[in-house]
């Protein structure tokens, strides 16, 4: 079969490798001149930053792509497990750490929040059981309302509980946890799907299991080594990657697909789109307009070269805002930039010292904002930047402004231009209701034979691990169909 994959993001490259290893003739067309999409790299003034993702979980799902292709993943990329995963900073300047050992984490949390470690372990044990059932029922493969799926869903439903399905995460956590710091920790996990803890159903607390129980990893040389290793695998598997080819239109003539790009034309028996689902539909000539309220959040990222090292900062750091509820009400309901944002700071030079100059650090500083191309202006970004600098200066007891020696900024607009993220949304449609969670776009098009979707904007969800899993699901579907 001749297969054209649109986009060389992590989902696109992994699906291309898998399909090529099955003997298909695979071409990848990508508008940029390098792989990775959202997971690309930014380099300037002696600093290196991973452009988007920084938290790497489930390395086994990445390994699986190489194993599927009969290759040893260790010949392509290596990684280490983090002992200290994330440091969470609170208003009163206290912080606790999440470790690779859940018992140690429970003790660290108890020491700072007075939340009994036994209660924490009981809670996480419950979500672990729910998560396990979810992984088996919803993540691997297609959501099909047939008897085996309904039986598995019933089992999941009984474990998760009625209350957690029809109550928001934040309300549930207030009732069950009732400890401000621990509630903030759990509520934060809603944002890993670009959703709001005040809207998404409480069973999404199960996402906490990924960081709190399964741990986090760091690929040597940073996240960009993931798309680079997939690119190398693709070349070894005989995939033809065409960079600098922007797809302009996707159409079907009889049984053959036609892809028009900025440079060329490609025909195919099967098309797999790794381009954001909404953009793919536009490229097919559909009038497509999804409002911001349906989309996952976007982000503003400040890439800062900082001329000092901070021993209190770790690889992953979260600084909570004064008023988390107000922050999300501004992002989701008012559709404006938050005036007091929660700030995530990633410092990869803590591990890869060559990512920053001597005695300096590379700060990737991210805040959540609505997915909209109308909010970004010099004034709005400067206001947000001031709020971020103010928060970090107070929390770190240091005037941060003077330490920023160079800067680049990612906005919803640049994310949309650079990677095709629809209105800058990171994960496509949000998961702010049960309906949206259950109706995430399938990997196979409902109407057009030979059209498939892969990546973080379709089933089973956003983020590197799920984009990798979607490549497995998509290939299984293609094997079944052909
Ligand atoms: C700021 C930020 C922070 C994130 N943090 C994390 C994190 O910590 N952990 C995590 O797991 N995930 C995180 N993510 C999400 C993660 O980056 C993605 O879910 C993941 O990279 C999967 O991407 P994908 O396969 O959907 O492809 P994408 O990265 O979306 O790639 C799509 C590809 O299609 C190409 N393309 C688009 N339009 C066209 C066109 N017309 N013609 C040709 N090519 C086109 C793009 O250039 C791109 O290469 C983050 C993302 C961002 C932006």
Binding site membership of 194 for ligand 1 (Cβ less than 6 Å): no
**pLDDT of amino acid 137:** 73
- The DSSP letter of residue 36 is B
Specify the residue for token string 């409480």.
202
Q: Atom of ligand 1 at shortest distance to CA of 462?
A: 19
Tokens at residue 378, please?
């010099």
Compute the distance between CA of residue 412 and CA of residue 410 in angstroms, rounded to an integer.
7
Does 238 score more than 70 pLDDT?
yes
Q: What is the pLDDT of residues 127-186, one digit of tens each?
A: 999 898 887 777 766 666 666 666 667 776 777 777 777 799 999 999 999 999 999 999
Longest CA–CA span in the chain (Å) reads: 67
Compute the distance between CA of residue 92 and CA of residue 430 in angstroms, rounded to an integer.
32
Of the candidates 388, 342, 427, the one whose C-alpha atom is nearest the C-alpha of residue 88 is 342
How far, in Å, from the CA of 6 to the mean position of ligand 1?
13
How far, in Å, from the CA of 184 to the mean position of ligand 1?
27
199-221: average pLDDT? 95
Binding site membership of 305 for ligand 1 (Cβ less than 6 Å): no
The DSSP element (H or E) to which 85 belongs, if any, is strand 84-89
99-108: average pLDDT? 98
How far, in Å, from the CA of 40 to the mean position of ligand 1?
8
Binding site membership of 31 for ligand 1 (Cβ less than 6 Å): yes
Main-chain phi, psi angles of 241, to 5 degrees:
-100, 125
Angle at 332 between CA 277 and CA 392, to 5 degrees: 105
DSSP 181-227: HHHHHHHHGGGGGT--TTTSBGGGGGGHHIIIII--EEETT-TTHHH
239-251: average pLDDT? 98
Contact call for residues 90 and 114 (beta carbons, < 8 A): no
Least confident range from 43-57, 134-148, 179-193, 385-399: namely 134-148
How far, in Å, from the CA of 32 to the mean position of ligand 1?
12
**pLDDT of amino acid 146:** 67
**pLDDT of amino acid 149:** 66
Does 221 score more than 90 pLDDT?
yes
Angle at 158 between CA 155 and CA 160, to 5 degrees: 105
Instruction: Name the closest-CA residue to atom 13, ligand 1.
Output: 53
Q: What is the pLDDT of residues 121-134, one digit of tens each?
A: 999 999 999 898 88
Contact call for residues 429 and 440 (beta carbons, < 8 A): yes
Does 363 score more than 70 pLDDT?
yes
CA distances from 348 to 54, 84, 98, 268, 406 (A): 8, 13, 17, 41, 16
Does 10 score more than 70 pLDDT?
yes
**pLDDT of amino acid 174:** 97
Specify the residue for token string 């929040």.
113
Q: What is the pLDDT of residues 289-324, one digit of tens each?
A: 899 999 999 999 999 999 999 999 999 999 999 899
Structural domains in the chain?
Answer: 2-38+223-289+429-481 (3.50.50.60), 104-211 (no CATH), 293-419 (no CATH)
**pLDDT of amino acid 134:** 81
Binding site membership of 467 for ligand 1 (Cβ less than 6 Å): yes
Mutate to test the pocket of ligand 1, among 10, 37, 285 (most ligand atoms within 8 A of CB): 37
How far, in Å, from the CA of 105 to the mean position of ligand 1?
31
- Residues of the chain above pLDDT 70, percent: 97
Dihedral of CA 50/454/127/342: which sign? positive
Contact call for residues 250 and 257 (beta carbons, < 8 A): yes
How far, in Å, from the CA of 137 to the mean position of ligand 1?
25
Does 372 score more than 80 pLDDT?
yes
Compute the distance between CA of residue 117 and CA of residue 337 in angstroms, rounded to an integer.
36
**pTM listed for this prediction:** 0.96
Binding site membership of 54 for ligand 1 (Cβ less than 6 Å): yes
Binding site membership of 181 for ligand 1 (Cβ less than 6 Å): no
Does 383 score more than 70 pLDDT?
yes
241-250: average pLDDT? 98
Does 466 score more than 90 pLDDT?
yes
**pLDDT of amino acid 416:** 98
**pLDDT of amino acid 139:** 73
Least confident range from 71-75, 252-256, 300-304: namely 252-256
Binding site membership of 420 for ligand 1 (Cβ less than 6 Å): yes
Task: Give me the chain's average pLDDT, please.
Answer: 95
């Amino acid at each position: 079969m001749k297969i054209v994959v649109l986009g060389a993001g992590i989902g696109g490259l992994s699906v291309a490798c898998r399909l090529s290893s099955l003997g298909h003739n695979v071409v990848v067309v990508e508008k940029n001149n390098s792989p990775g999409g959202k997971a690309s790299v930014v380099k300037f003034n002696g600093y290196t930053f991973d452009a988007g993702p920084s938290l790497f979980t489930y390395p086994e799902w990445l390994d699986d792509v190489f194993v599927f292709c009969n290759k040893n993943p260790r010949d392509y990329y290596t990684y280490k497990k983090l002992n200290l995963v994330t440091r969470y900073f609170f208003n009163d300047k206290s912080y606790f750490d999440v470790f690779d050992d859940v018992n140690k984490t429970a003790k660290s949390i108890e020491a700072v929040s007075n939340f009994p470690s036994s209660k924490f372990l009981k809670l996480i044990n419950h979500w672990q059981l729910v998560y396990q059932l979810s992984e088996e029922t919803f993540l691997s493969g297609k959501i099909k309302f047939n008897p085996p799926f309904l039986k598995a869903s019933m089992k999941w439903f009984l474990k998760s509980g009625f209350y957690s399905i029809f109550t928001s995460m934040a309300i549930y956590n207030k009732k069950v946890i009732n400890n401000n710091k621990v509630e903030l920790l759990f509520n934060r996990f809603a944002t890993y799907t670009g959703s709001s803890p005040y809207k998404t159903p409480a069973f999404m607390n199960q996402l906490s299991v990924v960081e709190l129980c399964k741990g986090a990893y760091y690929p040597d040389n940073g996240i960009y080594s993931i798309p680079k290793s997939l690119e190398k695998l693709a070349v070894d598997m005989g995939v033809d990657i065409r960079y600098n080819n922007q797809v302009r239109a996707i159409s079907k003539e009889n049984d053959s697909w036609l892809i028009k790009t900025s440079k060329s034309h490609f025909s195919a028996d099967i098309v797999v789109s790794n381009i954001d689902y909404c953009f793919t539909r536009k490229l097919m000539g559909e009038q497509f307009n999804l409002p911001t309220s349906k989309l996952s959040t976007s982000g503003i990222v400040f890439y800062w070269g900082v001329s000092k090292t901070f021993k209190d900062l770790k690889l992953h750091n979260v600084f909570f805002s004064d008023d988390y509820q107000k922050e999300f009400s501004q992002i989701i309901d008012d559709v404006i930039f938050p005036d007091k944002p929660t700030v995530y700071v990633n410092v990869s030079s803590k591990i890869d010292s060559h990512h920053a100059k001597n005695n300096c650090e590379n700060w990737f500083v991210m805040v959540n904002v609505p997915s909209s191309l109308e909010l970004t202006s010099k004034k709005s970004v400067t206001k947000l930047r001031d709020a971020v600098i103010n928060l970090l200066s107070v929390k770190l007891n240091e005037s941060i402004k003077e330490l920023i020696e160079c800067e680049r900024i990612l906005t919803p607009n640049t994310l949309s231009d650079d990677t095709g993220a629809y209105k800058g949304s990171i994960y496509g449609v949000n998961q702010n209701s049960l309906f949206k969670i259950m109706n995430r776009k399938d990997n196979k098009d409902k109407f057009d034979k030979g059209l498939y979707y892969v990546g973080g904007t379709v089933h089973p969800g956003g983020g590197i691990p799920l984009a990798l899993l979607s490549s497995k699901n998509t290939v299984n579907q293609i094997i079944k169909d052909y």
